[in-house]
Amino acid sequence: MREMLTGGELDVLTGDYLAELTMLILGRDRLKDPSAGYARTFLRQLEECLGIAHERGVRIVTNAGGLHPAGLADAVRALAGRLGLPVRVAHVEGDDLTARYPGALAAHAYLGGFGIAACLREGADVVVTGRVTDAALVTGPAAAHFGWGPTDHDRLAGAVVAGHVLECGTQATGGNYAFFDDGDVRHPGFPLAELHEDGGSVITKHPGTGGFADTGTVTAQLLYETAGARYAGPDVTARLDTVRIRREGPDRVRVEGVRGEAPPPALKVGLNRLGGFRNEVVFVLTGLDVERKAALVREQMRDALAKSPPAEVRWDLVRTDRPDAGTEETASALLRLVVRDPDQQVVGRALSGAAVELALGSYPGFHVLAPPGKGTPYGVFEDVYVPHGAVDHVAVLHDGRRVPVEPARQTAVLKDVPEPPLPEPLPPGPVRRAPLGLVAGARSGDKGSHANVGVWARTDDAWRWLAHELTAERFRQLIPESRELPVVRHVLPNLRALNFVVEGILGQGVAAQHRFDPQAKALGEWLRSRHLDIPEALL
């Protein structure tokens, strides 16, 4: 926060604190303390930086309010009072629908940016929200500054795209980037967007900060956690297939041409609930006969678990070992056992007793990475939908006035965009077996139970090859975990990109820890490591 406030010019500083998993964590916090439920890390940052922001006239907009935006707004006012700063604090509420869903730990509608805009238009210096879309932190200030209304769909869509690029911080300036060797990413600077009245923007960063902003880093973030060409939100549906990006100068990328459509008639609601209890143990199998050692301990544990069987039992053997290894660690494989059950005692007894009792009576070299505990609760995330009018979206101004925010009046049912024409394929020529990542970048992430993998080409010729080669069926071949799941491919020619949505690969969401990489953050890098027959001309 200090770096952004002191590193260069800024009108509005935004902060996105809410992932799906964060909402579950804040919900558990609220169970223990009804006054909790917001991101306390924001307050710690603000204590150091509120004076700088006030001095420089920078307004702050954040969703750190989480489950209790009014509580965080009060805490910010108290902080400003202690610091002797005349700061006007407003907040947005209406997203909390938990009472409507019995058994839910947290149920929150994704609100748009017009509540934020109302607070800013009435003079707020700090605006705190609960669950809004990540991009709303940018569309709200843009609508307030330029005077946009709910039907300015193209302009709003441009701001949504800018907000989507900014929402994950340094992922737009070289962080987590497939081609990270293109620049110095040891300490990437945070991105900023220069927004224009027509909805276009320039993505850049403060002078002298690390990392880099180029068409590749912006493309990667545009593809992150999206699906088809229509990127739906509560204010507008942005057409990602209309986005055009070009390099304007060092660390300057212009984003333009974004078209917008009326938002869908329903608001998304993120529903978090406790799914049960989870426990795990990782057996270390060293040296020879790894498969036979794994079979022995699995049989022994099966007998032990039969006395009080958990609802779900999962085994995974990870072959990290290598022959004639120079260290014991590289001579060892990992056998992970995960159990789940609604009853904490079942998952506790299942592992803590059975696994430890095998210590002197199982395979040679028996040991585990850590002794199993009592079991921990895990969460389940799902999407539900409500009409716009079912939510009481309200801007609570710094002087206490409550301003209702009108629901969207123009809406349109979301439909898939037909696949656009593909480029001409490359002419036949010699090929070489090589990793996909030599000619394509990728970025992946989670959306509830689904994962998306965005793949883009760096040159026109690579795009001509990629568009024809990487079909949904070829994706399934390269990613065996997806072979029995629906995989949908979306084509975005302006970005020279393909976006794959793998349905159900994450089970019941990140908090359920269904797989080794529960948020699919590295799924794209796994895909890039897979080998295909690639034209030598591209290599």
Domain endpoint, select from 352, 379, 406: 379
Q: Which distant-in-sequence residues (6+ apart) come within 8 Å of 537 by Cβ?
A: 426, 429, 461
- Confirm if 122 and 403 have CB atoms less than 8 A apart: yes
> Is the sign of the CA dihedral 49, 53, 54, 55 positive or negative?
positive
Q: Residues 305-346: pLDDT tens digits?
A: 888 899 999 999 999 999 999 999 999 999 999 999 999 999
Is 36 contained in some domain?
A: no
User: What average pLDDT does the chain have?
Assistant: 95
Q: Give the number of domains in the chain.
A: 3
Same domain, 257 and 282: no
Same domain, 283 and 222: no
| Strands (E) located in 257-310 | 259-261, 266-286
What pLDDT, on the 0 to 100 scale, is given for residue 391? 97
Same domain, 283 and 374: yes
Same domain, 454 and 530: yes
Confidence grade of residue 513 (pLDDT, cut at 50, 70, 90): confident
Task: Assess whether pLDDT exceeds 80 at residue 512.
Answer: no
Is 334 contained in some domain?
A: yes
Is 480 contained in some domain?
A: yes
- Confirm if 296 and 362 have CB atoms less than 8 A apart: yes
Domain endpoint, select from 206, 231, 261: 261
Between 308 and 502, the more confident residue is: 502
CA–CA separation, 477 and 167 (whole Å): 32
Q: How far from 293 is each of 318, 348, 365, 463, CA to CA, in Å?
A: 13, 24, 10, 47
Flag the least confident range among 305-309, 415-419, 428-432, 439-443.
305-309
| Strands (E) located in 301-343 | 312-318, 332-341
Domain endpoint, select from 261, 289, 322: 261
For the chain, what percent of residues have pLDDT higher than 70? 100
Q: Residues 519-528: pLDDT tens digits?
A: 999 999 999 9
Q: Residues 117-176: pLDDT tens digits?
A: 999 999 999 999 999 999 999 999 999 999 999 999 999 999 999 999 999 999 999 999
Same domain, 233 and 312: no
* Nearest CA among 16, 443, 1, 8 for reference residue 217: 443
- Confirm if 114 and 150 have CB atoms less than 8 A apart: yes
Same domain, 287 and 219: no
Same domain, 280 and 257: no
Helix, strand or coil, per DSSP, at residue 511:
helix
> Is the sign of the CA dihedral 298, 304, 306, 309 positive or negative?
negative
What pLDDT, on the 0 to 100 scale, is given for residue 511? 74
Confidence grade of residue 515 (pLDDT, cut at 50, 70, 90): confident
**DSSP3 helix / strand / coil % (the chain, rounded to 5):** 35, 30, 40
Flag the least confident range among 182-191, 240-249, 353-362, 443-452.
353-362
- Confirm if 114 and 1 have CB atoms less than 8 A apart: no
Same domain, 175 and 228: yes
Is 406 contained in some domain?
A: no
What pLDDT, on the 0 to 100 scale, is given for residue 353? 80
pTM score of the predicted model: 0.94
Confidence grade of residue 351 (pLDDT, cut at 50, 70, 90): confident
Q: Which distant-in-sequence residues (6+ apart) come within 8 Å of 362 by Cβ?
A: 296, 297, 300
Mean predicted confidence (pLDDT) in 60-79: 97
Same domain, 156 and 232: yes
Lookup result for tokens 């942005």: 238
* Nearest CA among 290, 459, 278 for reference residue 379: 278
Same domain, 290 and 230: no
CA–CA separation, 446 and 524 (whole Å): 12
Is 242 contained in some domain?
A: yes
CATH number at residue 343: 3.30.70
Same domain, 204 and 231: yes
Mean predicted confidence (pLDDT) in 262-273: 96
Task: Assess whether pLDDT exceeds 80 at residue 350.
Answer: no
Is 14 contained in some domain?
A: no
Same domain, 303 and 206: no
Q: Residue 24: phi, psi to the nearest 5?
A: -65, -45
Q: Residue 398: phi, psi to the nearest 5?
A: -65, -25
For the chain, first and last CA: distance in Å? 42
Domain housing 324? 276-379
Q: Residues 194-209: pLDDT tens digits?
A: 999 999 999 999 999 9
Which pair of tokens denotes residue 379? 């969460």
Which pair of tokens denotes residue 320? 């990290």
Is 364 contained in some domain?
A: yes
CA 432 to the chain's CA centroid: 35
What pLDDT, on the 0 to 100 scale, is given for residue 209? 97
Is 44 contained in some domain?
A: no
